[in-house]
Structure 1
Amino acid sequence: MKNIESAMEDLNLNNQLLIEEIPDLDLYMDQVIQIFENKFSNSKRNPDDKVLTKTMINNYAKGKLFFPIENKKYTKKHLILISLIYQLKGALSINDIKITLNRLNELVSEEFDVERLYRSYLKLSEYNTDRFENDVTESIKGVTKEASEFEDENAKYIEQLLMITSLVNMSNYYRRLAEKLVDELQEESNSKKLK
């Protein structure tokens, strides 16, 4: 699997919006979109894909995925939340993201230090990148062993197929566990409403 190393490099796994890259002044929507396009354009699967659009931001606002903006401007806290939404939407539904971020949005209005939380997220993201690279290396070993059983003209395809299914399998495990944790947040929220 010679191509997997270059494919992993193309993923830009460490590409995150850092606190230092978020201006301290409030921004208009077009400026927010530009920051995200500049930062994540190398992470797109297809060159024509959009990282963030006005429609997406408006849908996030209507769906109450982040706290209301004032005077059509987005604060540093908004950009942090939009960055989290951007990362979460790869695996969770919009409704699951809303449930996940609901309490955080309440905390932000109580002067919660969202920057500190985001720095913790970024630190864990670095750690997860290292773990991912190690896990892929281990998966390659297992896939190579299994694929070696196929000694015909389809061996390369079989190896690629097994690697794809193995990666998707692991991705599904992580996503399903995340969904279970979202369900727990929802249950906790519902029980608080009943009290």
Structure 2
Amino acid sequence: MINSDEILKKLAIESNIRQEEIPDIDLYMDQVIQLFDSKFMKSLRNEEEKVLTKTMINNYAKGKLFIPIKNKKYSKEHIMLISMIYQLKGALSINDIKAILAPVNERIEKENFDLESFYSTLIELQQKNINNITDQIKIQEHEIEMLENDDQLKQILFISALSNMSNAFRKAAEILVDDLLENNKKKGDK
């Protein structure tokens, strides 16, 4: 059975695009894809999986998940927003992501919103989560070791325990999305 250290290595949860790694110049779509590939490739499940494709980016643009692009180039702000989409899409629907990012996109377009500071805070929170995730995976592994001797059954229990935690966190995020939507609706009704 694969152990927690191997799982954590394959997770590559430390992978992220930090603000200082985003070029100050606007990038073409192929350059955006290369940047994401360089940062997230090792976190993919298999070689057939793609980090980001032209179709994905075009669908995000058509769906208005981020501010409009100019001259087929993506600014630092676009890269930060696409990174946020990339991080969210593993747990939430595209509609939920659009709802989450709508206030951010509005602030970028209508006011002097400091997206770089907001994004830095997000990256900081994600880095803090690495320790929590690492601890929880190791705790689950230890508890299962104490409960079961058969390696195959251990692995099934481990998968089930991690899936249960994942579902609980996803559901908590969905509850917060619904609350955000409800609060935005109330503000719009006033």
Q: How does 1:176-191 map to 2 (within 5 A)?
A: 176-191=171-186
SS in 1 for 2:74: coil
Asked if structure 1 preserves the Cα contact closer than 8 Å seen for 2:4 and 2:137, the reply is: no
- Please state how far the C-alpha of 1:72 moved relative to its aligned partner: 1.2
Count of aligned residue pairs for this structure pair: 189
Matched AA of 1:91: A
Secondary structure of 1:31's counterpart equals helix
What residue in structure 1 maps to residue 76 of structure 2? Answer: 76
Q: CA RMSD in A?
A: 1.1
- Structure 1 position 64 matched with structure 2 position 72: no
Cα distance in 1 for partners of 2:187, 2:2 equals: 53
Rounded to whole Å, the distance in 2 between the matches of 1:54 and 1:141 is: 42
User: Paired residue for 2:16?
Assistant: 16
Higher relative contact order (CA 8 A, sep 6+): 2
Cα distance change on mapping 1:21 and 1:5 into 2, 3 Å: same
Instruction: Compute the TM-score of the two structures, normalised by the length of structure 1.
Output: 0.93
TM-score (structure 2 length as normaliser): 0.96
CA distance in 2: counterparts of 1:177 and 1:119, whole angstroms? 23
The structure with more radius of gyration: 1
Q: Which runs of 5+ in 2 are unaligned?
A: none
Is 1:192 the counterpart of 2:182 in the alignment? Answer: no
> Match for residue 145 of structure 1?
146
2:104 aligned counterpart, secondary structure? helix
Residue 45 of structure 1 is matched in structure 2 by 45
The residue number in structure 1 matching 2:101 is 101
Q: What letter corresponds to residue 128 of structure 1 in structure 2?
A: N
Shift of 1:2: 5.2
**For 1:159, which of 154, 157, 168 is the aligned residue?**
154
Name the SS of the counterpart of 1:98 in structure 2.
Answer: helix
Displacement, 1:59?
Answer: 0.6
Q: In the alignment, residue 119 of structure 2 is paired with which amino acid?
A: Y
Question: How big is the shift at 1:39?
Answer: 1.4
Per-residue CA distance 1:41-85 (angstroms, 9 max, x = gap): 111111121111111011101111101111111110000000000
Q: Percent identity?
A: 49
